[in-house]
């Protein structure tokens, strides 16, 4: 990987990390260390909030596919998104699940793990 490709990849990773943080860890519940993000807040919107947050999550999946991550990693990411979106539609329990599951953070970890292995 040449310097220009590395710089482009680094810029993508910065954007993906920020998206992951916005979706999963933007806010902290006062007096605790529990973080949540827009994913949990969107889940409170009945009739589609979880679907909207799922679309944002699919953006990360698309980026991973463009980075040529292995199929196993792509399927793991997709499973995280499907689980998060499916459970997320359950009133109250789904919102609590969103706070603790953090599928976007999990998916970002998958991306970073595979990018690190590419750079070795």
Q: How far apart are CA 26 and CA 37, in angstroms?
A: 5
* pTM for the predicted model, two decimal places: 0.91
Which residue matches tokens 């260390």?
Answer: 33
Residue 120 has pLDDT above 80, yes or no: no
Contact yes or no for 53/97 (Cβ under 8 A): no
Q: Which helix (H) or strand (E) holds 36?
A: strand 35-36
Interval 4-58: pLDDT, tens: 888 999 999 999 999 999 999 999 999 999 999 999 999 899 878 999 999 999 9
Q: How many domains does the chain have?
A: 1
CA atoms lying within 13 Å on the CB side of residue 47? 0
Q: Show the domain range for 62.
A: 3-119
> Looking at residue 1, what is its pLDDT?
73
C-alpha Rg value of the chain to the nearest Å: 15
Read off the pLDDT of residues 63-89 as tens digits, 9 standing for 90 and up: 999 999 999 999 999 999 999 999 998
């Amino acid at each position: 990987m040449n310097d220009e490709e590395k710089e482009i990849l680094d810029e993508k990773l910065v954007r993906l990390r920020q998206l992951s943080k916005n979706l999963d860890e933007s806010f902290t519940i006062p007096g605790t260390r529990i973080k949540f993000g827009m994913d949990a807040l969107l889940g409170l919107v009945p009739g589609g909030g979880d679907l909207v947050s799922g679309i944002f999550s699919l953006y990360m999946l698309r980026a991973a596919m463009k980075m040529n991550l292995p199929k196993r990693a792509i399927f793991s990411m997709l499973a995280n998104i499907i689980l998060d979106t499916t459970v997320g539609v359950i009133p109250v329990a789904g919102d609590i699940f969103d706070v603790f599951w953090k599928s976007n953070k999990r998916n970002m970890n998958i991306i970073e793990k595979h990018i690190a292995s590419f750079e070795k």
